[in-house]
Amino acid sequence: MRQLTTTPQDVAKKFQYWQTRTIVATMIGYAMFYFVRKNLSIAMPAMQLELGITKTDLGLFLTLHGLLYGVSRFANGILGDRVNSRYFMVTGLVLCAFCNILFGFSSTVLILGIMWVLNGWFQGMGFPPCVRLLTHWIPPKQLATKMSIWNTSHSIGAGLVVIICGYVVNLGWRWCFFFPSIVALLGAVFLWFALRDTPSSVGLPELNITKKEKKDEDSKEFKQIIRKRVFCNPYIWILAFANFFVYTVRYAVLDWGPTLLGEWKGISIEHASWMVAGFEISGIIGMLVAGWATDRFFGGRGPRVCVICMIMSTVFITLFWGLNHPPMWMAALILGCAGFFIYGPQALVGIAAANIATQEAAASAAGFTGLFGYASTLISGWGLGLLAQTMGWNYAIGALIIFGSIGAVVFMLAWKAKANGYEEDEKK
């Protein structure tokens, strides 16, 4: 461990530098995980034509990938609270890239399925180290705003990869996996040199709240901490259940958007990729506004903002469903508005869970809510694919309206939740 910097001015300046560096580096790194996760959606129409894979098969890929990713994110969240985040994140990104390369060389449904499921497991090594890093570098009162900025990495990564693959797919669907893998491997090299672990690893004192938590860790078993902060916390459970419905809506558009827009609206793959990217770009703005509003108007109480966002997102999904043949610009606008609102809860659930669970179990709580979020692929993946194949997209989108409405109701149950768990600890 390096000698701690002692001059107050040096500490403040160096801490600000490393905080900014950590936020930017993890944003870029996590966007790279999306490059090797959300590339499948653009390749799906071509894979159906060339390989004869059905929507149900592709939906099963999405579901198994999502379920294993959710389990992995939770398991690696617990592990991520205890290991070096830099090593962990780099290893996960490299393994995801290799799975994508092997996927691109495959042609049989079984091998394709195995590679995509394995990719789902390794994807779970991306988010937990980011949560651990950010909660060690950002004070709780700043977390909603700054982590909302960080959360734009989801949309940046997903938006860029669908645009790029919308053109790369013209070289063949396999290039939707080869090209993003190359980018991800370069991203892993960048992370290796850009990231460090906690403040003490670069000669800085830990945040005051971190010091308090470290004392607690010395006197408690880690399993007891997880039980108290996560499994016995009703608000973590409510956020987790609500996250299921957030991700059902979000992934339905992100995974099936290009196919849906092509088959239901007759839009070309290039234009469809831009419309899905517009959904993501609008989500970036939505995340930033939601994070700012949470700190500015709601005292850090993210679930209250989630209620409003979930209601509005459902309203715009209903508009999209109700208009039979809208002009392309109108369909893109409505889809963008839905993205603006759905990404508020997408960002705030993890932030709220991390704050409520405190630094002791931040990655574990985020992993737990993520487990429920990615369990939603049972609906958004296989379920939606089966429904679209047997009854059509009209019924599939109608189902999303129901799930969005349920999500808003579940978020209402967390309306009275405190902004964070540190206040309760101080009272004790």
Give residue limits of the domains in the chain: 8-198+221-427
Q: Span 375-398, mean pLDDT? A: 88
In 3D space, the residue among 311, 254, 304, 259 whose CA is nearest the CA of residue 277 turns out to be 254
For the entire predicted model, the pTM comes to: 0.75
Burial of 18 (0-12, 13-18, 19+ CB in 10 A): middle
pLDDT at 4: 52
Per mean pLDDT, which range of 87-91, 393-397, 403-407 is the poorest? 393-397
250 is written with which tokens? 């979000």
Model confidence at 161: pLDDT above 70: yes
Q: Which residue has the tokens 């080869």?
A: 178
In 3D space, the residue among 423, 363, 89, 71 whose CA is nearest the CA of residue 226 turns out to be 363
Q: Span 400-418, mean pLDDT? A: 93
160 is written with which tokens? 């860029």
In 3D space, the residue among 56, 81, 62, 77 whose CA is nearest the CA of residue 124 turns out to be 77
Whether the Cβ atoms of residue 362 and residue 354 lie closer than 8 Å to each other: yes
Model confidence at 210: pLDDT above 50: no
pLDDT at 258: 86
pLDDT at 373: 87
Model confidence at 423: pLDDT above 60: no
- Domain 8-198+221-427 in this protein, CATH class: mainly alpha
Model confidence at 61: pLDDT above 50: yes
Burial of 112 (0-12, 13-18, 19+ CB in 10 A): buried
What distance in Å separates the CA atoms of residue 128 and residue 78, rounded to the nearest whole number? 8
Q: What is the Cα Rg of the chain in Å?
A: 21
Cβ-based neighbour number of residue 333 at 10 Å:
18
Q: What is the mean pLDDT of the chain?
A: 86
Confidence tier at 26 by pLDDT (50, 70, 90) = very high
Q: Span 347-355, mean pLDDT? A: 85
Q: Write out the chain in H/E/C secondary structure.
A: CCCCCCCHHHHHHHHHHHHHHHHHHHHHHHHHHHHCCCCHHHHHHHHHHHHCCCHHHHHHHHHHHHHHHHHHHHHHHHHHCCCCHHHHHHHHHHHHHHHHHHHHCCCCHHHHHHHHHHHHHHHCCCHHHHHHHHHHHCCHHHHHHHHHHHHHHHHHHHHHHHHHHHHHHHHCCCHHHHHHHHHHHHHHHHHHHHCCCCHHHHCCCCCHHHHHHHHHHHHCCHHHHHHHHHHCCHHHHHHHHHHHHHHHHHHHHHHHHHHHHHHHHCCCHHHHHHHHHHHHHHHHHHHHHHHHHHHHHCCCCHHHHHHHHHHHHHHHHHHHHHCCCCCHHHHHHHHHHHHHHHHHHHHHHHHHHHHHHCHHHHHHHHHHHHHHHHHCHHHHHHHHHHHHHHHCHHHHHHHHHHHHHHHHHHHHCCCCCCCCCHHHHHHC
pLDDT at 47: 92
**Helix-helix angle 109-123:85-104, to 10 degrees:** 170
What distance in Å separates the CA atoms of residue 288 and residue 372, rounded to the nearest whole number? 24
Percentage of the chain beyond pLDDT 70 is: 93
- If you average pLDDT over each of 193-197, 273-277, 281-285, 338-342, which comes out highest? 338-342
pLDDT by residue (tens digit) across 185-196? 999 999 999 988
